Amino acid sequence: MEQRERPGDGPGRTTCIAVVVLVAASGAVEAISFTALGHVFAGVMTSNLALLGMAIGRGRGTGVASAVLALAGFGAGAGLVAWVTHGRAEVATHWPPRVMFCLIGEAVLLAVGAGFWAASGGAPGAVARDALQCGAAMAMGGQAATMVAAGRAAAPTTYLTGTLATYIVHGVGRSRPDGWVPARLGALIVGAAAAMALRRVAPAWAGALPFVLVSAATLIAARAVFRHRAAGGRQA
């Protein structure tokens, strides 16, 4: 039976599913970013900092530029979301309106990127690659900050190293570990695999996958919001 989202509860099943879908979107963005947009990641800044250091050490200006673009885009996206949300929301059951607004903004940004990707037939030129890389990183920075702003009703969706470590440490000896963690880890793999499969069979459409997934996650999360409001109206 589906878990209800009631005041005082943790995130319900619907909200958890939305998080999983956002992780799949992150996997799709990372696959496209690394393989087609300069061999850097859009949302994993730890790796990009290491890649930046390696590029500097090897004297490769192209690698430096790609890493800096990704870092700048991520920072811009996260900073913009921090300004819109004004910090953390203390809602445990669903995502507040400002969080939903930021997800819609991310979907719009990804839609614009998908349009440019399709126009290039899935093979953007150097200038377009730089713009798409920065845009993808901005989307991932915004998504990461949005999940921080969502507080207890969310979980990391763009970087899962800490999630995996926490699951292993806290899961050892527990009879009922959090089943949503393997779901999120699997979603990252599925999203990346789906993006690569689309690049192979329909390259012009691969850029649309992140937009579709973020839009789906937003709609799923909106269902939890409407449910919460309906429950509040009945209680009133």
More confident of the two residues 229 and 157: 157
Tell me if 131 is assigned to some domain. Answer: yes
On whether residue 2 sits in a domain, the answer given is no
Q: Average pLDDT, stretch 70-91? A: 87
Report phi then psi at 157, rounded to 5. Answer: -125, -10
User: What is residue 90's predicted lDDT score, i.e. its pLDDT?
Assistant: 62
Which residue has better confidence, 95 or 176?
A: 95
Residue 235 in domain: no
User: pLDDT category, 2, cuts 50, 70, 90?
Assistant: very low
Residue 210 lies in a domain: yes
Given a cut of 60, is residue 9 above it in pLDDT?
A: no
| Alpha-carbon distance values, 184 to 3, 23, 99 (Å) | 18, 6, 20
Residue ranges making up the domain that contains 126: 13-230
Domain for residue 97, yes or no?
Answer: yes
The predicted pLDDT at position 233 comes to 46
